[in-house]
Amino acid sequence: MSNQGKMDCGRRRLIVATAAVGGVGAVAALVPFVSSLLPSERAKAAGAPVEVDISKLEPGQMMTVEWRGKPVWIINRTKEMLDTLPKLADQVADPQSEKNQQPDYAKNETRSIKPELLVVVGICTHLGCSPSSKFKAGADEGMPGDWLGGFLCPCHGSTFDFAGRVYKAKPAPTNLEVPPHVYLSDARIMIGEDKKGA
């Protein structure tokens, strides 16, 4: 497991490095335009919201998009996935997500606006590794036999359920972060802001 952990941490660093290189190229190409922006406008562009088409995301599937250099996971949870959440209420550290780490609309059991759609930052809240998806229940993917599905951070073993809620007594101190987001329509999400047209 430790080798896998190193790989995942390395991959995360690679993604960050690649994003940084891409960022430099993008900035170079836009110099005439960017240099004409006021400092506050430049800051806004760096943290600009990202609009995502989720129309092709089938039940049980997950997609990853980048926002502010971070991977954001969007998961279309099946009924079976959602049915695992109440069963885990006494095994996760913060079942209703009451710690102040996400918007109010994520302070519930599913940690989401729409029950089936989860939007979380895919970075472990311990030391920032990228957790792996372990969607299959049971021991098939190297998890304990009573595993109901979710995510494993291979770096130090934190586990998260299908709502990104961390299990008790794990190194990660909090649930995975839910970023601000808003539905523009059934098929489109804006990540990075809460209000339509804000």
Footprint on this chain of ligand FES (rule: CB under 6 A): 124, 126-129, 153, 155-158, 171-172
Residue 156 beta carbon to ligand FES: minimum distance, rounded to whole angstroms:
3
Token pair 């969007």 is found at: 74
Of 40, 67, 55, 41, the C-alpha closest to 190 is 67
Q: Residue 185: phi, psi to the nearest 5?
A: -160, -175
Instruction: Name which of 131 and 180 has its Cβ closer to ligand FES.
Output: 131
Contact 15, 123 (CB under 8 A): no
Residue 157 beta carbon to ligand FES: minimum distance, rounded to whole angstroms:
6
Instruction: Name which of 1 and 37 has its Cβ closer to ligand FES.
Output: 1
Instruction: Name which of 70 and 126 has its Cβ closer to ligand FES.
Output: 126
Residue 129 beta carbon to ligand FES: minimum distance, rounded to whole angstroms:
4
How far apart, in whole angstroms, are the C-alpha atoms of residue 64 and residue 82?
A: 20
Instruction: Name which of 15 and 50 has its Cβ closer to ligand FES.
Output: 15
Q: What share of the chain is helix, strand, coil (3-state, %, to 5)?
A: 25, 20, 55
Residue 123 beta carbon to ligand FES: minimum distance, rounded to whole angstroms:
9
